[in-house]
Amino acid sequence: MNAFQRSFLAISCLAAIGIFAVQSIAAPDERNGGAASPLGRFLLVASEGLYVVEADGRSSWAYHPAPLGQQVRGMEDDIIYDGCPLPNGHYLFSTHRYIREIDKDKRTIWEYRLVAPAEVKSGVPLPNGGVAVLNSQEQAVLELESGTSKVLRRIPVPAKGTDHTRYMLMRRTPEGTYLVALREEQRVVEVNPSGKLLHSFSVPAMPVMAQRLSDGSTIATGRFGMLKLDTDWKDVWSFTASDAIARFPLLISWGVTELSDHRLITANSDWHLAKKDDNRVQLFAVDSGKNVSWTLPSQAYHPWKRSEVEPRTGFTEHRTVAAWPLPPTR
């Protein structure tokens, strides 16, 4: 393994547990909006597929687990909620019914699947090579052996609601604890590997996820925007629709990537869009002063993304989930 591979492996492992420290490479004229991302080359995760996006804004690779039109008809198995790159160059993503690892040739390497109405929605790679998943029927985080789906550890996370409304996404912290968004209860929690509740914080609307940042704070996202909690889980910062409105409508904050300068690249997801063109910004970078320094307009997707029309409204929904840094091509 050469120096570059060791470096990328370290970055990918940090990404797997929820800490990101990638170098911003955006030129000054890109910081106010455009296709070029401060992430450089990145993996875009959206409800209908995965895309490798080059630094110039074009897509060089795409994967779609379902036929065109599948994502907009309701509760289909293949709607993607979560996903990330793996240290071995493969990709991991989660849908309603399964979590799947694929390689760059789009072959399925491994899959953990549930039967409806049970849902997975979220999963993360573990430092030991395993995968942690949310299981809505067991009401638990399951640490699985990748390739066999053998349950190595079951961490109970009881929650109110149905299989669909019980949870949203999950993240693992550097300390080995889990952050879980409880959708029905409108709160985010942290539990240890034994299932002991360490922290709980109620949010004003549907939560999507909570993620540990490099300074030890925790960022929570959802229909309310973003909230930052300090190490005692006290609310110390927020970014809401009223903060964003001068630049764009803030819809549902989803996945977050932390840059080396601590700006947050956040997905502005448009599930169940209520007003046409309110989804004109899909990703944005914001700092602790609530300054938006970069946005990715939805027009950047037009040449290559398979976004689809929601039949109930006639609006095109892009349903951006996350953007993850990738190593540059050589």
Over 80: is that where the pLDDT of 316 sits? yes
Inform me whether the pLDDT recorded for 24 exceeds 80.
no
Q: Looking at residue 62, what is its pLDDT?
A: 98
Instruction: Say yes or no to pLDDT of 20 above 50.
Output: no
pLDDT digits (tens, 9 = 90+) for 292-314: 999 999 999 999 999 988 888 99
At residue 75, the pLDDT reads 59
**Does the pLDDT of residue 18 top 70, yes or no?**
no
Q: What is the pLDDT of residue 72?
A: 58
Question: Would you state the pLDDT for residue 73?
Answer: 61
Average pLDDT, the chain: 89
**Residue 54: is its pLDDT beyond 50?**
yes
Q: What pLDDT, on a 0 to 100 scale, did the predictor assign at position 70?
A: 65
CA dist 189 and 210 (Å) reads 8
Q: Which of 127, 133, 126, 176 is nearest to 157 (CA)?
A: 133
- Is 208's pLDDT higher than 50? yes
Q: How far apart are CA 126 and CA 18, in angstroms?
A: 11
Q: What is the pLDDT of residue 154?
A: 98
Cα separation, 40 vs 325, in Å, equals 7
> What is the arithmetic mean of pLDDT over 211-226?
98
pLDDT tens profile 132-162: 999 999 999 999 999 999 999 999 999 999 9
Q: What six digits make up the tokens of 68?
A: 């065109």
Burial label for 326, CB within 10 Å (0-12, 13-18, 19+), is buried
* pLDDT at position 33: 47
Residue 269, φ and ψ in degrees, nearest 5: -85, 150
Please give the Cα distance from 9 to 191 (Å, whole number).
Answer: 27
Q: What is the pLDDT of residue 328?
A: 87
Helices (H) and strands (E) counted in the chain, each on its own, are 2, 26
User: Phi, psi (5° rounding) for residue 299?
Assistant: -60, -25
pLDDT tens per residue across span 254-300: 999 999 999 999 999 999 999 999 999 999 999 999 999 999 999 99
pLDDT tens-digit profile of 61-105? 999 998 876 665 655 899 999 999 999 999 999 999 999 999 999
| One CATH from 3.40.50.300, 2.130.10.10, 3.50.50.60, 2.60.40.1080 for 3-325 | 2.130.10.10
Q: Name the band, by pLDDT with cuts 50, 70 and 90, for residue 59.
A: very high
Residue 71's pLDDT is what?
61
Contact 290, 242 (CB under 8 A): no
Query: pTM value?
Result: 0.89
pLDDT digits (tens, 9 = 90+) for 154-207: 999 999 999 999 999 999 999 999 999 999 999 999 999 999 999 999 999 999
User: 325: helix, coil or strand?
Assistant: strand
pLDDT of residue 168: 98
